[in-house]
Amino acid sequence: MVLMEAEATLTERYQTTVPAPVRKALHLEKHDKIIYKIEDSGRVFLERSNEIDEEDPVLGEYLNFLARDIAAGTVRAVTPELASRVKSLLEDVQVDLDAPLSSDDE
């Protein structure tokens, strides 16, 4: 028995937006995780993940490394001059997030 049906479109990068009725039914908020379950028959189910975020050991080590560098004075705040320079270097850079990925990036 189908209670609801919603359609979404894939972008060139195979991304999609979870339709509002589905977000509401699953009580999804920004940054929540979802799980896709695929049956042998090909049916796909989408569920809200109830997984509790476990600490990433690699991220933890990186943050410790960064904290040590900050404490040692190796890492400093970006100056307004540097921010302005970076902005000037990037102002002509165009990024199309909807552009198709190359076969190497898929």
What residues does each domain of the chain span? 1-50, 57-90
What integer is the mean pLDDT of 52-69?
82
Q: What is the pLDDT of residues 71-89, one digit of tens each?
A: 898 888 899 999 999 999 9
What integer is the mean pLDDT of 57-66?
87
- Three-state secondary-structure class, residue 45: strand
Query: What does CATH list as the number for 1-50?
Result: 2.10.260.10
Encoded tokens for 12: 């060139």
Average pLDDT for the chain: 88
Q: Is the pTM of the predicted complex or chain greater than 0.85?
A: no
**Could you give the CA distance from residue 64 to residue 77 in angstroms, rounded to a whole number?**
18
Residue 21 pLDDT greater than 80, yes or no: yes
Residue 97 has φ and ψ, to the nearest 5°, of -70, -15
Q: Where are the beta strands (DSSP E) in the chain?
A: 34-38, 44-48
